[in-house]
């Protein structure tokens, strides 16, 4: 089996791996100005997609802009998320020469799409392929590829639940203790493999226990609401928005939801088998008030003691840009960032300097700004617990800023591990 790394090697973004020049795993884009695509656009016989985040599916429609019509295999939620993201990309970049696909290409995606559930083996480009729950976002999959000789496990992005603590931490009964994400259960499948291509986003990070993060978030938001303030909660549309709505419901925090996360929440309600607890998601959806944005509704809400869960997660667009100017001047208000803030984004700037550039204007923000790590990726211990099951396999490390360091640490512990370079071809 030969693997060619067209993107996501030694970096986060534009994931794309070509197997034997025939089977393409993911085809994402890297959010930047202008967006960056994988280093080559192949003409595969089939495409398999791990999950519906922009850095894994963002460039998929461009594979159909010529005469090639490969089938695209994914889970039902991944298909819907890919189409939502493609339409959003057209809205943002459709007029620009940097947009590599057209509305027609997006329509073709629906014609070649083939959906599969977890643990249902299917044929793609002559390989036997099976999806396993990766615990990252709804529909996310570990992709197992078998050519009859070599078994490859491509982890995609994944999350694992925490081992149960001896005692429930402050603020929780043992029965309601989140062992990981509320939205999706962590990955537990460990199918046999000869080669594991493993993500490493947080290979050098130890996440705080989820219950601790939630408890801090709950206390902070409730304090602000008691003081009569408003809390703006910037959150990514896919996964994070729903997770935060579930956290708000579990802790009885009044909340609004705005931005693309609304339609993703509606969509996920139609795929109950891909979430941890469909009933809890239903409760969270009815607990949250959906913002339409009509008739100055956003300006009115920004005056109320409530949490507003809204895109974009890094303040680079979306309704958050309406709320922040409204709430920024009052120090009783608060902004709670809920995910990693990439360097150069307004969210990162706000966290570090207390100022935000909104619509080209730099605004001082007197409202308090806090960051919370509601990560959907395994941290260092989680990655190592996962790889415990693969100490005889060859490990290839990708999707991280420190892939080489993580591979070296694995080698020190006796693994056969390496970190492929961007553009490189590996025989396994």
- Binding-site ranges for Zn ion (CB under 5 A): 53, 157
Rg (CA), the chain: 21
CB of 393 to Zn ion, least distance (A): 23
Name which of 127 and 236 has its Cβ closer to Zn ion. Answer: 236
Residue 398 CB, nearest approach to Zn ion (Å) = 13
Contact in structure between 231 and 308 (CB atoms under 8 Å) = yes
Which of 202/256 has CB closer to Zn ion? 202
Under 8 Å between Cβ of 262 and 201: no
Question: Shortest Cβ distance from residue 157 to Zn ion (Å)?
Answer: 4
Closest approach of Zn ion to the CB of residue 53, in Å? 4
Rounded CA-CA distance 116/137 in Å is: 16
Alpha carbon distance 302, 357 (integer Å): 19
Minimal distance in Å, beta carbon 51 to Zn ion? 6
Q: Given the complex with Zn ion, which of 56 and 298 has the nearer CB atom? A: 56
Burial of 197 (0-12, 13-18, 19+ CB in 10 A): buried
Nearer to Zn ion, 49 or 356 (CB): 49
Q: Return the number of the residue (74 or 256) whose C-beta is nearest Zn ion.
A: 74
Nearer CB in complex with Zn ion: 41/78:
78
Closest distance between Zn ion and the C-beta of residue 8, in Å?
Answer: 11
**What is the number of other CB atoms lying within 10 angstroms of the CB of residue 91?**
9
Extract the tokens encoding 279: 């009933």
CA–CA dist 184, 206 (Å, integer) = 20
| Pick from 301, 135, 382, 334: nearest CA to 216 | 334
Which residue lies nearer to Zn ion by CB, 136 or 215?
136
Whole-number Å distance between alpha carbons of 32 and 355: 21
CB of 160 to Zn ion, least distance (A): 15
d(CA 144, CA 134): 12
Q: Where are the alpha helices (DSSP H) in 227-272?
A: 240-250, 261-269
């Amino acid at each position: 089996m030969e693997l060619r790394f067209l993107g996501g090697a030694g970096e986060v973004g534009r994931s794309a791996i070509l197997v034997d020049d025939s089977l393409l795993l993911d085809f994402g884009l890297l959010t930047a100005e202008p967006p960056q695509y994988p280093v080559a656009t192949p003409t595969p016989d089939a495409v398999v997609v791990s999950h519906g985040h922009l850095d894994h599916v963002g460039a998929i429609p461009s594979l159909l802009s010529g005469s090639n019509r490969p089938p695209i295999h994914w889970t039902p939620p991944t298909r819907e998320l890919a189409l939502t993201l493609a339409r959003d990309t057209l809205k943002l970049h459709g007029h620009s020469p940097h947009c590599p696909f057209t509305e027609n290409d997006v329509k073709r995606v629906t014609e070649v799409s083939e959906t599969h559930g977890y643990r249902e083996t299917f044929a793609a480009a002559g390989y036997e392929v099976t999806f396993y729950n990766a615990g990252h976002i709804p529909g996310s999959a570990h992709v197992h590829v078998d050519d009859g000789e070599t078994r490859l496990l491509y982890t995609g992005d994944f999350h694992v639940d925490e081992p149960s603590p001896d005692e429930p931490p402050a603020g929780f009964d043992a029965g309601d203790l989140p062992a990981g994400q509320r939205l999706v259960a962590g990955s537990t499948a460990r199918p046999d493999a000869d080669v594991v291509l493993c993500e490493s986003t947080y290979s050098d990070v130890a996440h705080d226990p989820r219950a601790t993060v939630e408890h801090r978030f709950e206390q902070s938001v409730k304090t602000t609401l008691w003081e009569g303030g408003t809390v703006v909660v910037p959150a990514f549309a896919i996964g994070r928005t729903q997770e935060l709505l579930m956290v708000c419901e579990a802790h009885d925090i009044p909340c609004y939801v705005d931005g693309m996360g609304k339609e993703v929440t509606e969509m996920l309600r139609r795929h109950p088998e891909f979430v941890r607890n469909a009933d809890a998601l239903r409760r969270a959806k009815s607990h949250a008030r959906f913002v339409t944005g009509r008739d100055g509704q956003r300006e009115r809400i920004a005056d109320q003691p409530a949490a507003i869960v809204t895109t974009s997660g890094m303040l680079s667009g979306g309704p958050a840009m309406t709320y922040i100017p409204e709430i920024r001047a009052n120090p009783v208000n608060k902004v709670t960032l809920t995910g990693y803030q990439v360097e150069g984004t307004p969210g990162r700037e706000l966290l570090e300097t207390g100022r935000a550039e909104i619509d080209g204007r730099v605004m001082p923000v007197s409202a308090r700004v806090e960051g919370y790590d509601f990560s959907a990726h395994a941290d260092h211990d989680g990655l190592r617990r996962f790889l415990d099951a693969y100490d005889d396999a060859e490990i290839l490390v990708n999707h991280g800023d420190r892939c080489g360091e993580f591979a070296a640490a694995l080698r020190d512990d006796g693994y056969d591990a390496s970190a492929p370079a961007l553009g490189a071809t590996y025989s396994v």
